[in-house]
């Protein structure tokens, strides 16, 4: 039988730091839940767009030319190849992220290899 996923229980079980876990797969994409209380490293996904949906708190997504601030209920898609980092604005943020399964992540210190 198909069972629902309790996103609130997963988020409440994450106590400190950064948690990122795949909660569902749809066709060739994964849906992750992430809970963060500190910034994530600058990176790009050269082979996948990445969509963020904020469930709790405020998520700031920094770009080379500015930042977007997303609150609960907001969604933003970052095109493949755009350098960014995510960080909570407040104690923590809880987010869903949708990206291609097995998407490549290249961290900022590795981006010179892409030029």
pLDDT tens sequence across 59-93 = 999 999 999 999 999 999 999 999 999 999 998 99
Span 95-101, average pLDDT = 96
Do residues 115 and 66 touch, judged by C-beta distance below 8 A? no
β 18-26/58-63 pair status: unpaired
pLDDT at 26 over 80: yes
Instruction: Write out the H or E segment, with its range, that includes residue 25.
Output: strand 18-26
Q: Which domains does the chain have, with CATH numbers?
A: 7-114 (2.60.120.10)
Sole residue written with tokens 């839940």: 33
Residues pairing with 5 in the sheet: none
Buried b (16+ CB within 10 A) or exposed e, 28-54: eebbbbbbbbeebebbbbeebbbbbbb
Do residues 23 and 10 touch, judged by C-beta distance below 8 A? yes
Model's pTM, two decimal places? 0.89
């Amino acid at each position: 039988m198909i069972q629902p996923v309790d996103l609130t229980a997963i988020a409440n079980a994450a106590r400190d730091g950064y948690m990122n876990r795949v909660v569902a797969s749809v066709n060739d994409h994964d849906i992750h839940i992430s809970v963060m209380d500190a910034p994530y490293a600058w990176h790009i996904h050269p082979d996948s767009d990445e969509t963020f949906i904020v469930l709790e708190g405020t998520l700031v997504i920094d770009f080379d030319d500015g930042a977007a601030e997303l609150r609960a209920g907001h969604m933003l898609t970052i095109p493949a190849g755009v350098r960014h980092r995510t960080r909570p604005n407040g104690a923590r943020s809880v987010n869903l992220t949708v990206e291609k399964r097995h998407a490549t992540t290249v961290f900022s210190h590795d981006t010179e290899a892409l030029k």
